[in-house]
Amino acid sequence: MDFICNFPAFSIVLSIMAAIVSSALSGKWAKRVNLFVLFIVMGLSVCVLGYTVSQGDFFVYTMGKFPAPWGNEIRAGVLEGLMATFFCVIMILSLLGGRKHFYEDVEESRHNLYFIMTNLLLSSLLAMVYTNDLFTAYVFVEINTIAACGLIMVIQNGRTIEAAIRYMIMSLLGSGLFLIGICILYDLTGHLLMSNIQQSVSALVVNGEYQIPLVMAIALLCVGLAIKSALYPFHSWLPDAYGYSTISSAAMLSSLVSKGYIFLVIKIIYRVIGFDAFVDSKIINILFVFGVLGMIVGSLDAIRENDIMRMIAFSSVAQIGYIYMGFGLGSEAGMVASVFHIFSHAATKALLFISAMGLRDASGGSKAFIDLTGAGRRNVIAGIGFTIGGLSMVGIPTFSGFVSKLLFSQAAIQADSKMLITLIALAISTILNAIYFMKTIIRIYSPVENEQPISLKIKNPVYVISIVCFVILNIVLGMWSTTIVSLIESGLSMFR
């Protein structure tokens, strides 16, 4: 076994250790440790990605002394490596982009607490990505929830308290359903490791035994994680939680936390239930219907919204609808499109949040939409960032959003019965996206009276760097999509 096989375990342990150490450090040092660990974990994840690509296969790493059916395992393939790398990149850029605001929003004595939460969030995301054990996944889902609640609560005002409580209630409902689903599945199969469960499940499917409990378990697992990742009817907590927190938190919550749960759903679909059994179980139709509804209702809510942050948050509801709709198509192409959309949405939504913050600051911190008039001229870089993010969300070529829409439509054409509904929903949702993003982009470039001349002086270099990196990431995802898609395809084929 090569030394690189240790890297997934190293990165999880390293980030947990960083969280523990940060509790004894001052805010400044906690920030340095956090950034250092993030870069190291990114390096380790890149190594894992390169190793699995060169080997052309996944590897299994046994945690502790006990072999397969009893012990705990880590399993890393191409998709896991890619996901971990991407999570680290987005986290670094979100933290850098929101740094100035973080210092203004949060009092100094709390700074290290925030970095404890980010480290915990990173470790739980990595564990959810790498683990091969369902119960470990549950434990880290809960750690992720607690860390996300801490990220929301870092600003202490009435709004965030209410948002955090609503978030916790919905999340706990979701994890309760998820846990009982795991227990029923454990009861049916007698295993907790994903690969062993899948063997038992396929035996059950072949023999036609325990069909109702099996469908029940699949439904509970999917609904539990769908509640936690804010699929349409369960999204009521989302706009408050994203809209009122500090900007780094909003970017990380929208682009990382919900994506971690969605990645877990993908793992459950492929590695616990088995893709064919999942497609036969008809649960996909439910995911499909709610995904399509979310695409449209989320966009309509976003159009009605007057606060730019909440508008972007509602747009997340629509984008998560896209991802679940891809699952609902029940084909390989649909899954590839969904996984690509996870990347595309994460890169774009974080960019939108961070640049919207710059626009709002340039308008005197006002929440009213009308005050944003001309903000794109006052803060040039934020204006460019928002425009590119908006164009990418709408689906203009060269940006990542176009590729995911293209992949979704290609997948829809292969799915006979669902083709028409998917294409219509895609079209409607694209138009609605265009309405609210174009409305905002036109607003930020509208001329105002007694305008100041455009200044290109860079006041906040870190902010500019993070926006530029996000824009580059977006264009890379859009222009070199074939490489990414082939990586995703090989990653998904390793899941089988």
Partner 1 sequence: MGPNFIANYGEVIAMIIFGIGFTNLLLQKNMIKKIIGLNIMDTAIYLFLAQKGYIDGRVAPIIANGVTEAENYINPIPSGLVLTGIVVSVSVTALMLSLTIRMYQRYHTLDLDEVSTQLRKEGL
Q: Write out the residues near partner 1 by the rule CB under 8 A.
A: 135, 138-139, 142, 145-146, 149, 153, 156-159, 161-162, 164-166, 168-169, 172-173, 176-177, 179-180, 183, 186-187, 192
CB of 4 to partner 1, least distance (A): 30
Minimum CB distance to partner 1 smaller for 183 or for 384: 183
CA 219 from chain center: how many Å? 22
Reduced to 3 states (helix: H, G, I; strand: E, B; else coil), residue 456 is: coil
CB of 190 to partner 1, least distance (A): 8
Minimum CB distance to partner 1 smaller for 135 or for 275: 135
CA 262 from chain center: how many Å? 7
Minimum CB distance to partner 1 smaller for 177 or for 277: 177
CB of 395 to partner 1, least distance (A): 35
Minimum CB distance to partner 1 smaller for 50 or for 213: 213
Take residue 111 and report the two structure tokens written for it.
């700074």
- Dist CA 315 CA 321 (whole Å): 10
- Dist CA 30 CA 48 (whole Å): 26
Minimum CB distance to partner 1 smaller for 157 or for 366: 157
- Dist CA 141 CA 127 (whole Å): 9
- Dist CA 124 CA 264 (whole Å): 12
Judge contact between 325 and 405, C-beta under 8 A. Answer: no
- Dist CA 474 CA 178 (whole Å): 33
227-240: b (≥16 Cβ within 10 Å) or e = bbbbbbebbebbbb
Minimum CB distance to partner 1 smaller for 26 or for 236: 236
User: DSSP 3-state helix, strand, coil percentages of the chain (rounded to 5)?
Assistant: 80, 5, 15
Minimum CB distance to partner 1 smaller for 169 or for 431: 169
- Name, in order, each residue with C-beta under 8 angstroms of 437's C-beta and a sequence gap of 6 or more: 390, 391, 393, 394
The DSSP element (H or E) to which 309 belongs, if any, is: helix 308-328
- Dist CA 52 CA 264 (whole Å): 20
CB of 208 to partner 1, least distance (A): 17
- For residue 329, which phi and psi values (nearest 5 degrees)? -65, -25
CB of 117 to partner 1, least distance (A): 12
CB of 201 to partner 1, least distance (A): 17
Minimum CB distance to partner 1 smaller for 62 or for 460: 62
- Dist CA 284 CA 18 (whole Å): 39
CB of 126 to partner 1, least distance (A): 19
| N-term to C-term CA, the chain | 22
CB of 367 to partner 1, least distance (A): 10
CB of 244 to partner 1, least distance (A): 8
Take residue 100 and report the two structure tokens written for it.
């100035």
- Dist CA 204 CA 210 (whole Å): 7
Minimum CB distance to partner 1 smaller for 158 or for 364: 158
CA 21 from chain center: how many Å? 27
Q: What is the 3-state secondary structure (H, E, C) of 10-56?
A: HHHHHHHHHHHHHCCCCHHHHHHHHHHHHHHHHHHHHHHHHHHHHHC
CA 398 from chain center: how many Å? 22
CB of 317 to partner 1, least distance (A): 19
Minimum CB distance to partner 1 smaller for 169 or for 458: 169
CB of 145 to partner 1, least distance (A): 8
CB of 360 to partner 1, least distance (A): 15
Task: DSSP for 134-198, please give it.
Answer: HHHHHHHHHHHHHHHHHHHTTS-SHHHHHHHHHHHHHHHHHHHHHHHHHHHHHHHHS--BHHHHH
Minimum CB distance to partner 1 smaller for 142 or for 280: 142
Minimum CB distance to partner 1 smaller for 96 or for 153: 153
CB of 316 to partner 1, least distance (A): 21
Minimum CB distance to partner 1 smaller for 163 or for 339: 163
